[in-house]
Amino acid sequence: MSAATMRDREFVNRFCAFQLQPLDEYRGDMDEFLARALKKMNGLTPGEIDKLSAHFRSGLINNYKVFDRHAFRKHLPGQESRSVLNASLWDVMTTGLARYPEHVVEARADELRNEFYPLMKDDEFVRSVTYGPNDVKKVKHRFNVTGAVFRKVFDA
């Protein structure tokens, strides 16, 4: 199996893990957290699997609608070059945007970008998605910060 295929599978598993388990259950061991998610997935009904799959697709589509080719990458407005995929941004952005209907995300894409880009200049947030990506405090920080952004943009 290629390294790219393994990375793709890891990213899908990360989405499922953070989608199916409360953030408080994350204790700093990503492998253990992902393994628990796989066990949970094995116990899901076909309908629950379909729902999880639909949320996954929505998360991907919504991120692409908002950030286009820069989805899941650290970037600033007007940046031409693409940075590498960032697993930490993947976690918060796929699960965060999976909760909202595509037409709502599309209608509020400008507002979301206006709230997101300042995060890319916030030292603490940038550290939380760059260094020690599995550190409990950093994981919780990035989920809390992006959660507040999503609530501001979509639940107002």
Q: Which residues contact 21 (CB under 8 A, 6 or more apart)?
A: 33, 36, 37, 40
* Amino acid 156: pLDDT: 67
- Tell me the pLDDT of the chain (156 aa) as tens digits: 787 778 889 999 999 999 999 999 999 999 999 999 999 999 999 999 999 999 999 999 999 999 999 999 999 999 999 999 999 999 999 999 999 999 999 999 999 999 999 999 999 999 999 998 899 999 999 999 999 999 999 996
Q: Are 86 and 129 in contact (CB under 8 A)?
A: yes
Q: What is the pTM of this model?
A: 0.94
* Amino acid 37: pLDDT: 97
DSSP 8-state assignment for residue 73: B
* Amino acid 25: pLDDT: 95
DSSP 8-state assignment for residue 72: T
Q: Are 110 and 37 in contact (CB under 8 A)?
A: no
Per the structure block, which two tokens stand in for 62?
Answer: 């919504």
DSSP 8-state assignment for residue 100: S
Instruction: Say how many residues make up the chain.
Output: 156
